[in-house]
Structure 1
């Protein structure tokens, strides 16, 4: 495939650094607040179901926003989107820092999500637009930053909340604004095309996602039914609108559908791993929050270190080969973790390296596959759907695994190599995830065509 000409960038290294810096802040903002939820509940005398909206509300707005920003990125200049997003995010952070009551905390998180959801959309689109010759390597770096930030976030959040107070998590998030001058200086000037956004179609898609996430996180069947109805209306609108919010022909390309579904399976299992491990370490090993962060730290570091090399392999060997390889490694890593649950926590920490190092490989190769498939003028919305499914997968895997841990406590592990006892349920969860990755790998190998070409529309 002929490489597209990259726009003139004054300082590519500075642009990449600022993109990674702003992405790290965004990802840590989510994981840091997981640590702060108990403190917020105590501060405002809240029930668990009430304080959970600090995360639930953020995820709902963030996931929808990532799709909308992706759509806007096809026609609106990146400088405009970045300036708007970072400014709004910073305003939300400052509102949270001075929040006098829980209502203001929720409002702050929603404002943060409205601005912050710009970041993953731009972070995955910028390498495609500005670094076409090193796209795989840059996507690998971006993905490794995401994985590292996910691991370091709880440690940093616990330290800030412990030494100062949970409000200072908002203040630390506001520091993201320091990257704006550097980003604006290094992003090329671009024109904003005539923007024709299908607002009705966008509202139907947003309603579908919000009700789906509410149904998943709150176990509300009425929300799930409403989500199905909204999805039907969104599909009808997609077919009837002259310029639909999501072009229906995206889903007529088999390679695109196979890639996003396989990515959804793999990211669900990765998020499921990161959701389950802290619970496992508290339940089985009785570790403190700081100790949990330290156990997960080697895995986060391995992901950070492997990202650049893995991204370079995408450029050298092709995204299809690396994606299949990363699925095989992830399947093997989850099986290793399933087999070693209950052993010494220091040794278990190093077992976590095997699946966690696959995070940047899966993300970078998956994003590069989509970049090869999508037309240039629809990369934004196509990658927006990819980002949307990533966030939905996190909510879905967390809700399902949470329910399993609530009601299913077997005494025997299904994995014959694993220890039985209190750790059996965790071993079984990781074994199931490993089998799902195997199914995804087979699905990808059988249905994804050998040629990586742009979609024919």
Structure 2
């Protein structure tokens, strides 16, 4: 398969990629709002209805890695056609679902197809926009962040004025992007190669038991996670072409970038998960007001992504990652200080943390693209996407547990505000410390080895 294929209409391809990413991310966040309505419709307990999200995330995470691996061998047009058709089929099936089992099956089918989207959308800039990679990654990441912010607003509007089943029908509209993607993606031929399906099954077992253990709180499942991990290590060492090459993790730079991105996204997803809960419980805001308070942050992420992507191309990916971590740590410190103040003040402070989302994603992806060999870009970026989804499940489970059992009246932050927002202040302070750890470990691994991947100013898309 030839690399860096000539794209006849770069702007058209970029618009198509952004559209499919927007609709994919919104599909995930919209259903967060609908979970209580689904529980009411089928008279479900919280533990039962949680499978609407748990099952989706589990399949989505495994699928993102699998599609990344397949992208090393199969044409993007083939994979994206398969993924979108399956996703649309699952959406239509969910719209006509007659019981909860059918709803769950629909979500799983959606995840099987939808997992293709982040895998290929983050790989496309590397393959088709080599001279503007940072800029395009920044735009894609900003769309992802923006969609995460407006998804709950759109979900609340659709579920409130129509019915939660129409969320499935809305998601099915993603199929309209397929003709444009197929038109703008260059034709490619499949490349021969061996795919370790046994290794893929072992990895799926490891990830699924890990996510189930995290989201359901069943610690005994981690025994199976450890068993699958051991079998994976054995498999990597025993065959020539394992599903994930072991030498990927021997690179200190690859490990450092993956860890830093993971820690950053854990905190960002944790913030996104926690803020609606905080504004509802501590401030008494309704769903629409929560969406409006969070909207400036989502908009700032969309705007910053485009600027940050250009910075990656001109100043270098490492510079942008340091900038992103600095903004993120500063934003969490300010949130720890001002949580409990007017919601409008908090909304303004959220912007600082939110705008770092696309910077973390774009700079990390660009660093990895320079580290990885072209023949392993797909699986290497697949691991990157996998860790992002694991981080979302991990942060949600840990924060949910902390909010259940931890009820302080005084924050650790000396400048924080006392009262029922103290727990949120302490969690934001913990986020700031995690970001500091990520910054330091990245710095240690890149110290005296740093390379600024500055490219010549490219022509506009």
TM-score range, shorter chain: over 0.9
Q: Give a deviation string over 1:62-99, Cα, whole Å, max 9, x none.
A: 00000000000001000000000000000000000000
CA RMSD of aligned residues (A): 1.2
CA contact (8 A) 2:315 2:452 kept: no
CA contact (8 A) 1:199 1:245 kept: yes
CA contact (8 A) 1:88 1:114 kept: yes
- 2 CA distance for matches of 1:346 and 1:29? 28
Aligned partner of residue 146 in structure 1, secondary structure:
helix
Per the alignment, residue 46 of structure 1 pairs with 44
Per the alignment, residue 395 of structure 1 pairs with 393
1:99 corresponds, among 94, 97, 100, to 97
Per the alignment, residue 409 of structure 1 pairs with 407
CA contact (8 A) 1:369 1:452 kept: no
Q: Give a deviation string over 1:371-393, Cα, whole Å, max 9, x none.
A: 01000010000000000000001
CA contact (8 A) 1:140 1:308 kept: yes
2:344 corresponds, among 322, 329, 346, to 346
Aligned partner of residue 362 in structure 1, secondary structure:
helix
Q: Give a deviation string over 1:27-52, Cα, whole Å, max 9, x none.
A: 00000000000000011111110000
Q: Does 1:362 find its partner at 2:360?
A: yes
CA contact (8 A) 2:205 2:225 kept: yes
Q: Does 1:128 find its partner at 2:126?
A: yes
1:331 corresponds, among 311, 322, 329, to 329
Unaligned stretches of 5+ residues in structure 2: 454-461
Q: CA deviation at 1:440?
A: 0.8
1:231 corresponds, among 214, 229, 232, to 229
Per the alignment, residue 444 of structure 2 pairs with 446
The equivalences for 1:214-253 within 5 A come to 214-253=212-251
- 2 CA distance for matches of 1:102 and 1:209? 25
Which region of structure 1 is more displaced relative to structure 2, 345-354 or 71-80?
A: 345-354
Q: Does 1:282 find its partner at 2:285?
A: no
- 2 CA distance for matches of 1:44 and 1:23? 31
Per the alignment, residue 294 of structure 1 pairs with 292
CA contact (8 A) 2:123 2:381 kept: yes
How many residue pairs get matched? 451
CA contact (8 A) 1:338 1:418 kept: yes
The equivalences for 1:164-203 within 5 A come to 164-203=162-201
Q: CA deviation at 1:321?
A: 1.1
Unaligned stretches of 5+ residues in structure 1: none
CA contact (8 A) 2:129 2:136 kept: yes
- 2 CA distance for matches of 1:24 and 1:256? 28
Q: Give a deviation string over 1:393-428, Cα, whole Å, max 9, x none.
A: 111111111111111111101111110110000000
CA contact (8 A) 2:42 2:100 kept: yes
Q: Normalising by the residue count of structure 2, what TM-score does the alignment of the two structures yield?
A: 0.96
CA contact (8 A) 2:317 2:452 kept: no
Q: Give a deviation string over 1:192-239, Cα, whole Å, max 9, x none.
A: 011421110000000000000000001101111111110110111011
- 2 CA distance for matches of 1:215 and 1:361? 31
Q: Does 1:14 find its partner at 2:12?
A: yes
- 2 CA distance for matches of 1:130 and 1:451? 26
Q: Does 1:428 find its partner at 2:447?
A: no
- 2 CA distance for matches of 1:346 and 1:411? 22
- 2 CA distance for matches of 1:346 and 1:73? 45
2:381 corresponds, among 380, 383, 387, to 383
Per the alignment, residue 313 of structure 1 pairs with 311
- 1 CA distance for matches of 2:412 and 2:452? 42
- 2 CA distance for matches of 1:174 and 1:69? 20
CA contact (8 A) 1:327 1:437 kept: yes
Per the alignment, residue 113 of structure 1 pairs with 111
- 1 CA distance for matches of 2:342 and 2:326? 26
The equivalences for 1:19-30 within 5 A come to 19-30=17-28
Q: CA deviation at 1:107?
A: 0.4
CA contact (8 A) 1:35 1:157 kept: yes
Aligned partner of residue 7 in structure 1, secondary structure:
coil
- 1 CA distance for matches of 2:226 and 2:232? 10
CA contact (8 A) 1:367 1:383 kept: yes
Which region of structure 1 is more displaced relative to structure 2, 444-453 or 309-318?
A: 444-453
CA contact (8 A) 1:76 1:191 kept: yes
Q: Does 1:137 find its partner at 2:131?
A: no
The equivalences for 1:67-78 within 5 A come to 67-78=65-76
- 2 CA distance for matches of 1:401 and 1:319? 31
- 2 CA distance for matches of 1:123 and 1:183? 11
CA contact (8 A) 2:336 2:426 kept: yes
CA contact (8 A) 1:90 1:174 kept: yes
Report the CA distance shift for 1:346/1:253 in structure 2 as closer, same or farther (over 3 A).
same
Q: CA deviation at 1:452?
A: 4.2
